[in-house]
Structure formats: C-alpha cells, structure tokens
Chains A and B, each alone.
Chain A
Amino acid sequence: MFARGLKRKCVDQEEDGEDALAGFGTVPSYSLQRQSLLDMSLVKLQLCHMLVEPNLCRSVLIANTVRQIQEEMTRDGMGRGAAPQSTGRAPLDRLVSTEILCRTVRGPEAGCPVPDLGDSPLQGTPPELCIVNSAEVPRSPQSSLWEMDSPRENRGSFQKSLDQIFETLEHKSPSSMEELFSDMDSSYYDLDTVLTGMMTGAKPGLCDGLESFAAAAPAPGSSCKSDLAELDHVVEILVET
C-alpha cells in the first residue's frame, strides 16, 4: 500500500519491471513507489527557490531523503545487474537530474574566502574566543541548494535571482512541471482525497505522476502560462514595483 511509509520488502518479494507496468492501476511496485518518492522530493527542493529564504531544516531533510533513495537505488542497481530495461532506465535519468540540481548553481566554489560569521573575527582576537561583530553584515559563501548569494552579490543579486529561477525551471523535466502544479491544488492536501485518489486512481499527483514517468509527455500549455505568470510576479517583487 502506498500510504504506508515505504518499507523495504524482502528481496525475494521484490517485483520486476514487468510487474511495475502490469500492476499500474493496482498497487505500484516498490521501485515505482521509491521512484515517485524521489521525484516528489526533487520537486520539493526546487520549490524552495522562492522569495522568502527557504527553510534550511526542511531542505536538509529532503536532501538527505533524496540521498538515501539514490544510495539504495544504486545498491539495487548493482545487485541486480540483470534488471529489466524499463526499471533500469528510469532511475538513471532521475539520478542525472538530481546531479544537476545538487550542483552549485552559480559556479563559485563554497570554499571561496568570503568573510563569514565566526571566521574572520578569529584574526586579531584570542584564539579561544569567536566574537561575532554584529556590525558586519553576514555574507555566506555560495553553495548549492542551501544559500542563494555569492561574492559578486551586490549588483548581481537581481540578475542572479532571475538566473536561478530560469535555471531551475530549465532543469525541470516536463513530468515534474505537471507535478508542480498538482502539488498546488489545495484540495490535494486533504488526506481523504489523497487516500481516495489512491483507490480510484482518478486524482492528479502520485498516480498521474507514475503515468507520466512512463509516458514522458510534455507539459500542457496551461502549465507554461501559469509558470510565466509566476515569473512575472517574482520579477515584479524583485524590481519592487
């Protein structure tokens, strides 16, 4: 049952790829469940790049979950060298897109010498004490998902934010764009609907998500329009109109 936390089943009960496709409409196989959990997590990470600074704890937890899934997939992939084509192909695609997402967005490495809280005050003060001078404006080194600024921040921030948003949207696969908007359907959050959806397979989201992975269909035009409207809104706020 999908509703349960995805427990790992015994190896000899593990379904093959054939089951995954044949079983659609009934209970999805463990691999498919795991796959859609991975995709859901990736979408969640992408949604973080919004106007208010993302919740770091949430991002870290989701990223750790993604890593766990990927590690398990890799282990499974290696352990089952004769895996059928259909199951074998999808996870690799997803692994690639994860790579792109986790890579540093702006290029400069995290190790660049940007003065940071707790770092620079070490010079000229007793080695034991780290006095944080609050007159300093905190500037953090660039990194992947966790922070959105870079050393060249001052003038570039507006451009950078737009770039990030574009880059993020660019890397979204068509299927996850669809998922993005199914996420925003508020009735979807009602557990009742979700659970009913599981049974009937009529609700958008997970079940459709599974479908779209198999079909890899491009996003409908309406998604693109809403996307652009969203971008407009973001641009508006950035230029403070």
Chain B
Amino acid sequence: MAGAGGGGCPAGSNDFQWCFSQVKGAVDEDVAEADIISTVEFNYSGDLLATGDKGGRVVIFQREQESKSRPHSRGEYNVYSTFQSHEPEFDYLKSLEIEEKINKIRWLPQQNAAHFLLSTNDKTIKLWKISERDKRAEGYNLKDEDGRLRDPFRITALRVPILKPMDLMVEASPRRIFANAHTYHINSISVNSDHETYLSADDLRINLWHLEITDRSFNIVDIKPANMEELTEVITAAEFHPHQCNVFVYSSSKGTIRLCDMRSSALCDRHSKFFEEPEDPSSRSFFSEIISSISDVKFSHSGRYMMTRDYLSVKVWDLNMESRPVETHQVHEYLRSKLCSLYENDCIFDKFECCWNGSDSAIMTGSYNNFFRMFDRNTRRDVTLEASRENSKPRASLKPRKVCTGGKRKKDEISVDSLDFNKKILHTAWHPMENIIAVAATNNLYIFQDKIN
C-alpha cells in the first residue's frame, strides 16, 4: 500500500501529491454522445481498467509492465481490448427504445488466464470473457495454411501440428446473456464474494443470479406497490458485502439504506438494518428529499463501513450504527443556494458515484466543472482537483482548486456562477492497491498517479 496515507508512512506529508499521468479520448470540442463514458472500473489486481460508454462499447486498458527499456512508461495504461457490448434495442410491447448505454461494469475475480466481466445496460446483463491468443497451430493434416481443405487423396503422410507464436490477439466473447428479468432500468450489479452469484438491481426490484444460469433468477427484493400510484420511493443502488456472501445493502431515493441478510428469508423485503440520518429541520426545503436521494453506495474494502453519496455530500456509515453516519463530507455545499436553478436544468438529478482507496483511508467523488474531491479520513483534510487538458503535462502536479462562495474572489479561485454544469464527473475509480485514480470527464478518461508512488 505505497503512500496510502495510513500509519507507517514517513513522518512528513501524508497528503497525496497527484500528478497527471494520461488522458484517453478525443480532444474534440464537439463530443459525440456515444463517446460519453458511463462507467469506470479497475479489476481486482488493478492491471486492467474498463470503461463503458453511451454507445454500448467497452474499452479495456491494461497496465504496461515496467521495464528498463521504457523507463518513462512507468506503468502506463494502454488499450487492451475494445468491443461492442450492447446494441440499441426496441421494446415493441411498450413502443420504447432500450438504450445501449453501459450502466455498470463489474469484474469477476480472476480464476485462470482469461478475464471475465459483467456489463449491463438498462435491461440486459452480459458476461464477457476476454482472452489472449498468442500462439497458433500450424501443420494441420486436413487443412492448408490458409484454411482450405486439402484433397484427402493427396495426403500421404501424417504430421503433428505444432504451436507457433503469433501477434497477440485479445478476444472478447459473450459467454452468458442474462435477459428479460428486469421491467425497470438496471442501476446496479454486484458480484458476490462467493464468486458464483451476483445481484442486479433496478428501480423496484433486486434479482439474484447464478453466473452459470441465464434462464432464471431469484427475486430477493421487491418494493413495487400494488398500486403504482402509491409509488414514492425507488431503489437507487445495491451492493453485496465484500466478505459476507449473505449480506447486501440497497439505497433509496429517500436517502435510506437497508441491509438485508439472505439467510433470514428468501424474499428480503424486510431489512435486517435500516440506516437513516434524521433530517435537520432547519435546512428543510422543497428540495430536501431530492438532494437526500442516494446515488451510490459502496462498502469499504474492510467490510466494516459503507459510503453513500447524495447530491451535496458523501457519508460514511458504520454498519453497527444505524442512527446516523460516522462521517459526513461536504462535496459542494455552495450549491445549496442554487438548488432551484439546478432543479430547473435537471442537474439536481445527476447521479454521482464515489469510491474508496485500497486501504479505506481516503474517499473520492466527482463534482461539476470537471472538479473532483478527495477526502482523507485520517487527516480530515480534503482537496478539490480538476481534470482538464490544460493540466495535462506529463507528471505535472495537480494544483488544488477552490470555489469562491461569495464576497471577494481571490486569485485562482472560481466563482460558483462560473462553474460549467455540463462538465460533470460522475464516474471515478481508485486502483485497489496503489494510488492511481481514473476519472471520467464526459468523453475523456484521465489517469492520475501519486508522486510518491
């Protein structure tokens, strides 16, 4: 855990020193909608980094091995595989389009030479196998080198085909398609710690799947009311506990989190734990419920805590305490006075994600104007950084940014009214072991590394 900011670091700065490493994607000012990145995820080793976009494509980057011949590449990520995961569909019964946008990608733990990941759009989950081929068999008896069948009468001797090296080819093939199980839009998938099952959650239901079985799944949560007109709350995110394979959580649009134990009953409509922070009556407004809606929930690697993201803050919860979070970090409190405008332009409905670092000592989430925020839980310090082409010189340090909330604007500060609300960072990912972060800014993927790393 190099430079993770926890104990054991040299006395001096525990702070991260983030530097620009790489940026992927077109420089064009005109962004094609299909190129907008919709999900980012490191695999378990951190060697692979997957992105999904609105056009239904998945791009996987692989970290280069550090080698003496190319000292400056220093563990750079380069394209490993690109494939079309989902295509646009049309639901004829409802006369509605089904978007091909990839909502989530989740990697499976690696069990052999091949890599597996789950990718999902609004309706269908697919299991993809990504495998390498770097050898080819030559010297077949029945086929020519170009594949044409040999005339059997001309074969006078038998030979054993031999394996010859070839240029590395990375192939992605869909191994399972899990379809037709969700009436509503899938917002989350989560692989269980048993590595055999996974859950998929839509607005009203959560289903449990076995990775080998595609024609049926178990419904484990159903919050659909008998009369849809009574609907006031939806599921916004769900995740399995990282170690306890019977435990999962799901968050709601009312700012609550329910922890469920699958051992208690087959249909987990009754939660084992219910996490909700009492509302602060002094800050109540018509927008209180909307900004309390949780857009993401993530367990810590330790499994002891979980983190939730609502519109203005990130909260860390201790699983043993349901009454309130143990930490609350303000992401962009200066937006509280602008909620009406943000409601008008729909920005208030933006769903930001959040993530932990490998040692659970720091958390990160995105904001507007291509800003993203990092909170160190030990030092209680936070920093605002920006993902922009201007700060894109190799190994250039990122300068902390500051938003001016009123009164005199200092030099280098940016005023709230100048923020670009079209430049939102919704998706970020942190390498599971090192201080490398991937930040998706519309159609560009930025990779930053900690200098100490």
Contact = CB atoms under 8 A, between A and B. Distances in A.
Interface string B403-441: 000000000000011110110000000000000000000
Of B219, B341, B421, the most chain A CB neighbours within 10 A belong to: B341
Contact of B219 (A2, A118, A157): A118
A20 interface: no
B83 interface: no
B284 interface: yes
B290 interface: yes
Interface string B220-231: 001010111101
Interface residues of B, number: 68
Interface stretch (B6-14, B64-72, B182-190, B240-248): B182-190
Given A131-B216, A143-B229, A189-B421, A68 B182 contact: no
A4 B289 CA distance: 16
Given A57-B234, A129-B266, A117 B181 contact: yes
Contact of A65 (B218, B236, B286, B344): B286
Nearest to A34: B286
A117 B219 contact: yes
A61 B232 CA distance: 8
Contacts of A65: 286-287, 289-290
Interface string A159-199: 01100000000000000000000010000111110110000
B338 A192 contact: no
B336 interface: yes
Contacts of B338: 3, 191
Given A40-B344, A51-B97, A189-B421, A104 B229 contact: yes
Nearest to B226: A111
A6 B288 CA distance: 10
Interface stretch (A90-98, A144-152, A219-227): A144-152
B286 A6 contact: yes
B93 interface: yes
A192 B418 CA distance: 7
B347 to A, nearest CB: 8
B253 A60 contact: yes
A183 B341 CA distance: 12
Interface residues of A, number: 69
B93 A57 contact: no
A61 to B, nearest CB: 5
B94 A153 contact: yes
A133 B214 CA distance: 10
Q: Is the interface of B mostly helix, strand, loop or mixed?
A: loop
A69 B236 CA distance: 24
Contacts of A217: none
B138 to A, nearest CB: 43
B185 A153 contact: no
Given A57-B293, A60-B233, A158 B183 contact: no
A147 B99 CA distance: 17
A135 interface: yes
B424 to A, nearest CB: 12
Nearest to A37: B286
A11 interface: no
Given A65-B289, A153-B94, A188-B345, A132 B185 contact: no
A60 B232 contact: yes
Given A117-B181, A133-B216, A153-B93, A144 B417 contact: no
Contacts of A153: 93-94
B94 A146 contact: no
Interface in A191-221: 191-192, 194-195, 205-206
B404 to A, nearest CB: 14
Interface string A54-83: 011110110111001100000000000000
A144 to B, nearest CB: 5
Contacts of A137: 93, 180
B96 interface: yes
B340 A3 contact: yes
Contacts of B267: 128, 130
Interface string B264-303: 0111000000000000000011111110010000000000
Interface string B98-130: 110000000000000000000000100000000
A52 B122 CA distance: 11
Contact of A157 (B93, B207, B290, B349): B93
B418 A134 contact: no
Nearest to B253: A57
Interface string B59-97: 000000000000000000000000000000001111111
A134 B340 CA distance: 42
A141 to B, nearest CB: 7
Interface of B: 91-99, 122, 178-185, 203-205, 207, 214-219, 222, 224, 226-229, 231-234, 236, 253, 265-267, 284-290, 293, 336-341, 343-346, 349, 416-419, 421-422
18 contacts: A3-B337, A5-B285, A6-B287, A57-B203, A57-B253, A57-B349, A61-B253, A102-B229, A110-B228, A111-B226, A111-B227, A116-B183, A116-B224, A130-B222, A149-B94, A189-B344, A191-B421, A206-B344
Interface of A: 2-8, 34, 37, 40, 44, 51-53, 55-58, 60-61, 63-65, 68-69, 102, 104, 110-111, 116-118, 128-141, 143-144, 146-149, 153-154, 157-158, 160-161, 183, 188-192, 194-195, 205-206, 238
